[in-house]
């Protein structure tokens, strides 16, 4: 992987967050706290930048499981204000109004309902929404369009998942959270690496060479000692999600 000066990156994110909040004249930031490492890392960095009084955490479970305890652990360790809001009634109402939803579509509704709640709090308190997307998710399209991808600023967007883990370790995110299997939590037992069909470690190595270094696919395969089909698969994920990384477009006049 690329070598990064982690202390410098941490400092840059902290300065960036401070600057953007000041520029916007905002009173603080609101973050969806899932109990996973991405949102925990954003919450730790935001608290470093703004102080605990200007960070609001929203814990928004659909399912009843241990993730809520992990999310509370993050908020309580930081001493930030947090609210626990079950999104079950809202999501179930939408599912009913559609007349039933397959599990993936329902997961996307969960993600978008959380976005609505985050922006309702941002509007009413003059806060900004901090997103938690990282570069691995962003490039592969592994997010809900206008759902978890929707935010005002995304402090981790230029960092691969394996780099987020490194940062999390350095800023004191509890080990229990760092060691959790990444999951969107959109259905019981969901795992990012299972759904994507590749480990983040390998995905990041491929993405870095494909996107940042713009290397030829067979060269990447040779360097990593993997079949070229794996590289082609990752390229396919990047290409088919292009529409998720831009605002809607229309025809040329």
Q: Closer to ligand DND by CB, 109 or 128: give it.
A: 109
Query: How many CB atoms lie under 10 A from the CB of residue 178?
Result: 16
Which residues, 125 to 164, sit near ligand DND by CB under 6 A? 137, 141-145, 147-148
Q: Are 204 and 1 in contact (CB under 8 A)?
A: yes
Distance CA 62, CA 186 (A): 8
Q: Does 195 bind ligand DND (CB under 6 A)?
A: yes
3-class secondary-structure state, position 75: helix
Q: How far is the CB of 161 from ligand ATP (least distance, A)?
A: 7
Residue 250 is assigned to a ligand binding site: no
Q: Which of 61, 107, 131, 155: binder of ligand DND (CB under 6 A)?
A: 107
Q: Which of 43, 74, 107, 148: binder of ligand ATP (CB under 6 A)?
A: 148
Q: Alpha-carbon torsion 18, 19, 20, 26, what sign?
A: positive
Q: Does 155 bind ligand ATP (CB under 6 A)?
A: no
Distance CA 152, CA 66 (A): 29
Residue 112 is assigned to a ligand binding site: yes
Distance CA 162, CA 156 (A): 11
Residue numbers of the site for ligand DND (CB under 6 A)? 104, 107-108, 111, 137, 141-145, 147-148, 184, 186, 192, 195, 243
């Amino acid at each position: 992987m690329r070598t990064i000066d982690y202390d410098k990156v941490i400092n840059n994110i902290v300065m960036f967050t401070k600057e953007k909040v000041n520029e916007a004249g905002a009173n603080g930031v609101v973050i969806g706290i899932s109990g996973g490492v991405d949102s925990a890392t954003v919450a730790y960095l935001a608290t470093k930048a703004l102080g605990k009084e200007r960070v609001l955490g929203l814990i928004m479970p659909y399912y009843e499981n241990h993730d809520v305890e992990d999310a509370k652990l993050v908020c309580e360790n930081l001493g930030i204000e947090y609210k626990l809001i079950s999104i079950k009634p809202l999501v179930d109402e939408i599912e009913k109004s559609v007349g039933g939803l397959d599990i993936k579509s329902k997961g996307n509704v969960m993600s978008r309902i959380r976005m609505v709640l985050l922006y309702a709090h941002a509007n009413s308190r003059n806060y900004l929404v901090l997103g938690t997307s990282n570069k691995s998710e962003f490039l592969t399209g592994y997010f809900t369009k206008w759902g978890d991808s929707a935010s005002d600023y995304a402090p981790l967007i230029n960092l691969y998942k394996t780099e987020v883990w490194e940062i999390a370790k350095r800023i004191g995110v509890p080990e229990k959270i760092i060691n959790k299997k990444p999951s969107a939590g959109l259905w019981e037992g969901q795992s990012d690496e299972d759904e994507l069909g590749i480990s983040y470690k390998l995905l990041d190595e491929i993405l870095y060479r494909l996107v940042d270094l713009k290397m030829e696919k067979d060269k990447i395969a040779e360097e990593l000692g993997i079949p070229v089909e794996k590289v082609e698969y990752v390229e396919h994920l990047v290409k088919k999600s292009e529409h998720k990384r831009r605002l809607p477009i229309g025809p040329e006049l």
